[in-house]
Amino acid sequence: MTQAVHDAPAGAARRINLGAVAPFLALILICALGAAANARFLSFDNLTNVLARSTFIATIAVGQTLVITGGGLDLSVGAMAAFVAGLEILFLNSGLIENATLLIVSAMALSLAVGALCGLFNGLTTTVGKIEPFIVTLGTMGIFRSLLTWLAQGGSITIRDSEVRAAYRQVYFGDLFGVPYPVLVIVGVAIVGAFILTRTAFGRRVRAVGSNEDVARYSGIGVARVRTLTYVLQGLCVAIAVVIYVPRLSSASAATGLGWELMAITAVVVGGTRLKGGVGRVWGTIAGALILEVIGNIMLLSNVVSEYLIGAVQGAIIIIAMLAQRLARNR
Amino acid sequence: MTQAVHDAPAGAARRINLGAVAPFLALILICALGAAANARFLSFDNLTNVLARSTFIATIAVGQTLVITGGGLDLSVGAMAAFVAGLEILFLNSGLIENATLLIVSAMALSLAVGALCGLFNGLTTTVGKIEPFIVTLGTMGIFRSLLTWLAQGGSITIRDSEVRAAYRQVYFGDLFGVPYPVLVIVGVAIVGAFILTRTAFGRRVRAVGSNEDVARYSGIGVARVRTLTYVLQGLCVAIAVVIYVPRLSSASAATGLGWELMAITAVVVGGTRLKGGVGRVWGTIAGALILEVIGNIMLLSNVVSEYLIGAVQGAIIIIAMLAQRLARNR
Amino acid sequence: MSTASAPNQPQPDSSRGRLGRGESEFVLEAVGLSRSFGPIEVLGDVSLDVCAGEVHAIIGENGAGKSTLMKILSGHLSPTRGALKLDGAAVDLAGPVDAERRGIVLVHQEIMLAPDLTIAENMFLGREIRRGLVLDDREMNRRAFEAMRVFGVEAPVNLPVERLSIAQRQLAQIARALTVPHRVVIFDEPTASLTPVETAALLRLIGDLKARGVAILYISHRLEEVKAVADVVTVLRDGKKVATRPAAGLEPVDMARLMVGRDLLALYPPRVAAPSAAPFLDVAGFGADGFAEDASFSVRPGEILGFSGLVGAGRTELFEALFGLRKGAGAIRLDGKPQQWRDARAAMRAGAVYLTEDRKGKGLLLEETLATNLTLAALDGFQRGPVVDRAGEARALDTAIQRFDIRVGDKGLNAGQMSGGNQQKLLLAKMMLLDPRVVVIDEPTRGIDIGAKQQIYRFIAAMAGEGRSVIVISSEMAELIGVCHRIIVMRNGRIAGEVEGEAMTEHAIVVLATGVDATAGEAAT
Amino acid sequence: QQAKTIAVSVPTADHGWTGGVVYHAMQEAKALEQRYPGLKVIVKTSPDAAAQANALEDLTTQGIDALVVLPHDPNVLTDPIRKVKQKGTFVTVVDRIADDHSIYDLYVGGDNPGLGARAAEYMKKAMPNGGDIVVIRGLPIPIDKMRVDAFNDGLKGTKINVIDSQFGNWSRDDAFKVMQDFLTKHPKIDAAWVQDDDMAVGVFEAIAQAKRTDIKFVVAGAGSKDMVKRVMDGDPMMPVDVLYSPTMVAVAMDVTALGLEDKIPVRGDYILKASLIDKANAKDFYFKDSPF
Ligand SMILES: Nc1ncnc2c1ncn2[C@@H]1O[C@H](COP(=O)(O)OP(=O)(O)OP(=O)(O)O)[C@@H](O)[C@H]1O
Ligand SMILES: Nc1ncnc2c1ncn2[C@@H]1O[C@H](COP(=O)(O)OP(=O)(O)OP(=O)(O)O)[C@@H](O)[C@H]1O
Ligand SMILES: [Mg+2]
Ligand SMILES: [Mg+2]
């Protein structure tokens, strides 16, 4: 029996790892498909484009991973992004600060604060108000989007000062040793997110709360506090996404962030996080977000599919990718 | 001990009933608000309008109640509605049958068959393929909607023959002793749905499967079969909604049924069904669908709120309605 | 369901059973069963048989492989090696449903009921009684009520199971199994969460089954009970069969010796008088909404206070309310200072912990590792900066495994993969990490083997010896009498009385708990 | 004189152009209420065609004298509008109509096919020797189809090839994405037709990022102030824009009010030309304060 004891962890670890790498396997598979469809798919430019683009969903999805792992759900992220972006641009246009760099940095700080507050509102309403997160965040989704529409008076809000605009553009289009900033942001957010979820006491509590609320409660964990915090972190992640998003097109409108919530949740689930809570995989989420973005990219790069049927093919690929993952995991 | 035991069920039963009527209380409250906002709210015309309109979401949401109670989820309903509607209209336009009535009846039958098949596809993919329903139905959502776009070649599909159109119109606009057909459909679907869920062995098994899959399996219940069947019923409900929807506007486009999935799920949850499965309330769902529709109606009838902020007010009302429900239940 | 009202029961062959144990009489036979989980073999080459009208008890330490063996016999698990024979012919059980169709039913050690369904709904799940298309709920409720009445319980058969006490769930589960046409019934620790009254009812029921020629496999850690009910006893140790003996002439001490492989010391530790200090925890006029009222009591440091009562007496609810885990109100003082515990966290901060009786639902995260579970409540103590100190956790786990004698082959297992008794030990270890001054343990030895029980009693005594106040809620009167200084008895949500010292007898407790003095034949209060 | 009510039903401000519509409708509502004391103008927005059908029912319930409606999808809304008209309400349809012209009293329209045709004409002129162009469409609904069909018709017989065409959903972000991928996919693109000025914002960013010089120009449509400004400033990448102004809703409201209050016969079809905005005339189309 002692012999057996020594073998076991290795076996278990191997199994867990397969689960964790499955989304990456799916991603690689899809990339191979992409390379076959169009040689330019693997070009440096294209890959960085896709990576940079996926920043928004990936960043938001990292927050969503925490929320879902804790047994919650946040449908308001897309609308929240639009709202935060609107406020940030209004601040940039306010001209309160002369120096462009300082102005931009303050605007970023403001975004983070607003995002955290929006998340706090979601969190408190679900936990203290004891209402299904689905309903709460559907409600705040309407609220945030409406507020933006109202701020923009139905149109769009655009950074007016061209100097500010040019300076801020660097945040999306600039790079460090050839690595675009957005890519650095994804990696940074993922590292922090994974660290929080797997290495800190808070992350452990998030898992406990999502896995079995009663056990968490009986273990003296402040369930409401932990859950609320996941929403605050989600808000911060949304704000980080916004900080990268605004410089790209320098504007926000009622169409900003439309449908991001579904994309983020999809990325989370494709990445192997359990929708009912208790199991979360931050790196899987990143792979999930990349899968979504890469599929879209391949669809555009290939000439095979009619423009009307792109959605159908995308849907089918996602289902097939999940099927492949499951098979890989079960092997 | 006997004393205690006998007291417990009575008290608990009272609580359960309150839970079941809470959505209706919320609905009444909101209606009172509506009456205050605009005297015409309570006019017969307005009420039948609202009722008739809510048919689509209510009908679909009854199916969704079954799916969610069984531990599933169906995000594809809106897209499925568009797809089924498109096929139905194409059939109506095909001129395969001379007689208008016969044509319409066959078209309805076709819709039901297609709806059931779509549901079957969803069901089998989640159960046999063992993939998260969220992902499967998100995938099929893309597939169904794309197929419609393709059928419509990017435009819309409209009933061409004006005679057929006029004849079919009666299905939405006609009435029986003053009660519009759509209202009869809601009531009929709800009665059947509630009957299935509460009075039949199948309904009981749906609840068991949603409550604890393992227990259900050990009790000899074919979990996959039961779940798949809920999706088929959902497909039928979608088809019934389509059969009522098509005569109203006589056309379908890529925008048909957009967002219905979220509305249906919201109606279900507002109605008191638990999103994680095991507990389902068909009548509550009907109340939920009415609440959503009435809120929209009141927003339109009242002129207090800025156009831009309607979404915010709607969101807030839904959250408040849930809060009120919860308080009523806890009392 | 009462045994008489199962019409389509396979009729036992009356020529079998009583005639002695010849191969032809075996209803169910296991030949050389082995089972491994991954590389670990938890069952090695076990053979076993049971005749019609016979009770075959299986005993063994926690983790010995009893439940695993029973799961194989009932089709829930397939053996890695070995074969099953039913009526002398080899069978391959395709699954639990197949087994049930063949008349083999298992009453699980863990509660296996759908939480949102009522007792009646659970009981007839998959075999609903219908009138035409429509379910006949009245009939099912009636039958469920009758089935529960067999245990002397008037159960609310139309409440979701989620709202019932563990004991009621356990009874419902037994009743459910018996509504299936059966010829082999396997009970896996059916009495672990029952009080003596229901236990007695169950044993009577088993007598009935036996008389009808049903073959019974019975697992229990209560060796007295085994002695009372069993015809044959098989002992497992570390997944191997140690012995199969006729129960006659096999005393509990012998069973214990066979189980642990050595002589056991006295079960209960020597009693040390509690220091006569001022009360440490003082509760006055406390009530749990709807379950308990007006409870007043106090515990001194170093004292062990027992709480006894029947199922549904409201002990669990009283303490859950006290610890802010459900609604309730009243005055709590700790060391003279008034307390307001809004949640378990507040109580823990004040130095008081409550160990739930529902280890699966409220005690452990079944899908997390042992270490994660162990440190969950005391996580603040396992942090280096913001990071969880995994090395510290591993050390704590090693200590706990040693101290509480947790038997696991693989420390990387999830809590749900441990045997029931070892889960209970892990829960104990988890709460003890908090180093509390007041400990409330609800059903501390539920499902624990006799050797481990002895360790836990010693542990409880040691805690008291260190000056902690210990409250033990238990349905086993003997253990309360064995370890407590004082026992409070609850009935119908109220404190019915208190016994101390020489007055602590089972009889006195039963009188207080039921309100009926059986010997006097009249109400005691 | 009895107080009159005009109801205005338009799509929700879900992208720039509809945002402009809502803005101008609300401005005009205020202006009209000032001009005609006793006139009430209610503006209602709807997120999709089905919701708009509901809105029409609800507006009728409120009791109205005239309806100005800019339908999401004319095919879908034909019947609901007819129902309003049958109640004796004066109906003005803006921008989008299906084949049935009996459902309105007054039609004020932009010229959807015209938008595509003008763009095609300009392309033809700017690239007499042909070239490779990409097209970014809106959402798959009928107006998009009308524009694209007209555009393709306009290019027939020329040497201009549409080498790729995708939906950009009238969203800046989606257009950015699509253009990025077009640039990856096609080593040489001579020009782009982007159906809407909003999407052009994303397209320009994508081109700027790729630092590609082969794309000579972009033709967009609608006449948003940002794009008109580019034309006015002589941006070589944006030589022209095709007018398709959201102000048409204000025109429609104005004419409707004229008919209702001043009893001027106004029935008929008013088509606002999809005129080409170039450097010369751009300042006539530049509205600094509009949100669009
Ligand atoms: N799914 C599983 N994966 C790995 N190991 C398991 C699994 N299930 C059980 N085991 C291991 O098998 C061994 C035997 O467990 P079993 O439940 O049969 O014990 P038991 O005799 O019933 O004990 P108890 O008296 O505590 O209920 C234990 O060491 C347990 O950890
Ligand atoms: N969530 C609940 N909702 C309604 N009634 C409940 C609920 N939980 C328990 N009850 C009822 O409360 C009563 C007391 O509960 P319980 O049996 O747990 O008390 P106890 O004295 O701790 O008994 P045990 O010996 O089982 O621990 C029982 O009649 C039970 O049916
Ligand atoms: Mg066991
Ligand atoms: Mg208890």
- Identify whether A4 is part of a domain: no
φ, ψ dihedrals at C128, nearest 5°: -60, 145
Closest CA in chain A for residue C341: A220
Average pLDDT over residues B229-244: 97
> What pLDDT does residue C516 have?
78
Has residue B193 got a pLDDT over 90?
yes
Average pLDDT over residues D85-95: 90
Name which residue sits closest to atom 10 of ligand 2, judged by CA: C164
- Identify whether B11 is part of a domain: no
Contact C349, C438 (CB under 8 A): no
Distances, alpha carbon B196 to alpha carbons B189, B190, B204, in Å: 10, 10, 9
What is the per-residue pLDDT across C53-95, written as a single tens digit (0 to 9) for each? 999 999 998 889 999 999 999 999 999 999 999 988 899 999 8
> What pLDDT does residue C276 have?
82
Residues in chain C: 525
Query: What ipTM score was computed for the predicted complex, to two decimals?
Result: 0.86
- Identify whether A15 is part of a domain: no
- Identify whether B5 is part of a domain: no
Has residue C525 got a pLDDT over 60?
no
> What pLDDT does residue B265 have?
93
Cβ–Cβ of C116/B4 closer than 8 Å? no
- Identify whether A107 is part of a domain: yes
On chain D, the residues whose CB falls within 8 A of the CB of A255 are 14-15, 170-173, 198
Cβ–Cβ of A207/C379 closer than 8 Å? no
Q: How far apart are the first and last CA of chain C?
A: 33
Return the CATH fold of C1-103+181-263: Rossmann fold (3.40.50)
Q: For strand D241-243 and strand D276-277, is the pairing parallel, antiparallel, or unpaired?
A: antiparallel
Q: How far is the CA of C43 from the centre of ligand 1 (A)?
A: 9
On chain B, the residues whose CB falls within 8 A of the CB of A312 are 142-143, 146-147, 150
Q: Which domain holds residue B78?
A: 23-330
Q: How far apart are CA B239 and CA C40, in angstroms?
A: 53
Cβ–Cβ of C367/A4 closer than 8 Å? no
Give the DSSP H or E segment for D131.
strand D131-137
Which structure tokens are listed for B245? 């929807």
Residue in this structure with the two tokens 């991928």, named with its chain if needed: D181
- When scoring B204, B273, B330 by the number of chain C Cβ atoms within 10 A, the one with the most, hence best to mutate, is B204
Q: How confident is the model at residue B192 (pLDDT cuts 50, 70, 90)?
A: very high
On chain C, the residues whose CB falls within 8 A of the CB of B1 are 310, 312-313, 491-492
Among D26, D7, D12, residue whose Cα is nearest residue D247: D26
Q: What angle do CA C400, C404, C407 make, to 5 degrees?
A: 90
Q: Does ligand 2 lie within 6 Å of residue C25's CB atom? A: no
- Regarding chains A and B, contact by 3 or more CB pairs under 8 A is answered as yes
Structure letter (DSSP) for residue C362: I
Q: How far apart are CA D265 and CA D263, in angstroms?
A: 6
Average pLDDT over residues C149-167: 85
Domain of residue A265, CATH code: 1.10.3470
Q: Who wins on pLDDT, C22 or B272? A: B272
Instruction: Give the whole-number percent of chain A exceeding pLDDT 90.
Output: 58
- Regarding chains D and C, contact by 3 or more CB pairs under 8 A is answered as no
Has residue B14 got a pLDDT over 50?
no
Q: Is C344 on the interface with A (CB under 8 A)?
A: yes
Among A56, C380, A265, D132, residue whose Cα is nearest residue B135: A265
What is the per-residue pLDDT across A224-278, written as a single tens digit (0 to 9) for each? 999 999 999 999 999 999 999 999 988 888 888 988 999 999 999 999 898 889 9
Q: How far apart are CA D168 and CA D236, in angstroms?
A: 23
> What pLDDT does residue C518 have?
58
Which residues partner with A143 through β-bridges? none
Instruction: Specify burial of residue A216 (Cβ count, 10 A radius: 0-12, 13-18, 19+).
Output: buried
Distance from CA of A115 to the nearest CA of C (A): 23
- Identify whether B117 is part of a domain: yes
Contact D246, D96 (CB under 8 A): no
The residues placing their C-beta within 5 Å of ligand 4, an ion, are: C 316, 357
Q: How confident is the model at residue C447 (pLDDT cuts 50, 70, 90)?
A: confident
Has residue A9 got a pLDDT over 80?
no
Q: How confident is the model at residue C520 (pLDDT cuts 50, 70, 90)?
A: low
Q: How far apart are CA B241 and CA C101, in angstroms?
A: 42
Q: Is B125 on the interface with A (CB under 8 A)?
A: yes
Q: How far is the CA of C188 from the centre of ligand 3 (A)?
A: 7
pTM for the structure as a whole: 0.88
Q: Does ligand 2 lie within 6 Å of residue B4's CB atom? A: yes
Q: For strand D66-69 and strand C89-91, is the pairing parallel, antiparallel, or unpaired?
A: unpaired
Mean residue pLDDT of chain B comes to 88
Cβ–Cβ of D19/A254 closer than 8 Å? yes
Average pLDDT over residues D19-29: 88
> What pLDDT does residue D3 have?
81
Average pLDDT over residues B59-73: 96
Q: How far apart are CA C74 and CA B169, in angstroms?
A: 60
Q: For strand C469-473 and strand C438-442, is the pairing parallel, antiparallel, or unpaired?
A: parallel
Residues with CB under 6 A from ligand 1: C 37, 42, 60, 62-68, 109, 408-409, 413, 417-422, 447, 449
> What pLDDT does residue C23 have?
52
Q: How far apart are CA C172 and CA C182, in angstroms?
A: 17
When divided into structural domains, chain A yields a total of 1
The residues placing their C-beta within 5 Å of ligand 3, an ion, are: C 67, 109, 419-420
- Identify whether B71 is part of a domain: yes
Q: How far apart are CA C53 and CA C50, in angstroms?
A: 9
- Identify whether A27 is part of a domain: yes
Q: How far apart are CA C448 and CA C418, in angstroms?
A: 13
Instruction: Give the whole-number percent of chain D exceeding pLDDT 70.
Output: 99
Has residue A6 got a pLDDT over 60?
no
Domain ranges of chain C: 1-103+181-263, 112-180, 265-351+439-525, 362-435
What number does CATH give the domain C265-351+439-525? 3.40.50.300
Q: How far apart are CA C218 and CA C224, in angstroms?
A: 13
Cβ–Cβ of D76/B53 closer than 8 Å? no
Distance from CA of B232 to the nearest CA of C (A): 19
φ, ψ dihedrals at C388, nearest 5°: -70, 130
> What pLDDT does residue C126 have?
87
